Amino acid sequence: MAQKFTEIQVSSRAKAGKGAARATRRDGLVPAVIYGGKSEPTLIALDPRIVMRELSNSSWRSHLYQIKGDGVTSVALMRAVQLHPVTDRPLHVDFQRMVAGQHIRVEIPVVFEGEEVAPGIKRGGVLNAVMHSVEVNCDVDHIPEAFTADVAQLDIHGTIHWSDLKGTEHVTHTNHEEDFVIATIAPPTVSVETEETTEEETTETEVADKAASKE
């Protein structure tokens, strides 16, 4: 597995179920499970601050985690996080265990670069990100953390397609189009308020001119 791991320290849980999960939360931890890899699910608990830290990273769905503690050692993807509907506090985390050679479907974020020098943006255009991530099939040994979209050469109406992305060498996308659009440089937008103001000013000028001609 070429991707660098982020190590997470966890503790084991003896029991499953809602009651056991609530007890874990009362202890200040987040209940979680590691499943897959042709092994029995492993019940764990971890610090909620770790979960929130990882959720702040756009690549958390495609990042590999080395999970350690209390006899637990697994490489896994963080597949799902259940959050409290009011406080957004993490309530439960699902990890999928990874095994070398395994093929999986995973969402990979798209990172944009070159915006500060793109001719179209310098001329007032706006980067329109059609897709912020792309779902792909790949093996565990070649999970990209992100794809890179370089927009440095794009003028207004310029387009970035799947084939323009960097980091796609070992994956296959699941999109129904072969070479779909990732982003475009949209032309500058004209403010509606400015247009209305201009119309009002024109009307007032016409009225004033007509009044002056009658005098």
CATH number of 6-99: 2.40.240.10
Nearest residue to 182 via CA among 156, 151, 214: 151
Instruction: List, for residues 69-104, the tens digit of each pLDDT value.
Output: 988 999 999 999 999 999 999 999 999 999 988 999
**Cα dist from 36 to 33, 118, 158, whole Å:** 10, 44, 43
Q: Are 61 and 77 in contact (CB under 8 A)?
A: yes
Given a cut of 70, is residue 201 above it in pLDDT? no
Instruction: List, for residues 160-177, the tens digit of each pLDDT value.
Output: 999 999 999 999 999 999
Q: Which residues pair with 94 in a beta bridge?
A: 33, 80
The confidence score (pLDDT) of residue 194 equals: 47
Instruction: Give the confidence band of 38 by pLDDT, cuts at 50, 70, 90.
Output: confident
Q: Are 46 and 9 in contact (CB under 8 A)?
A: yes
The confidence score (pLDDT) of residue 172 equals: 97
- According to CATH, the topology of domain 104-186 is RNA Polymerase Alpha Subunit; Chain A, domain 2 (2.170.120)
For the chain, which residues make up each domain, given as ranges? 6-99, 104-186
Given a cut of 70, is residue 66 above it in pLDDT? yes
| Averaged pLDDT of the chain | 88
The confidence score (pLDDT) of residue 4 equals: 73
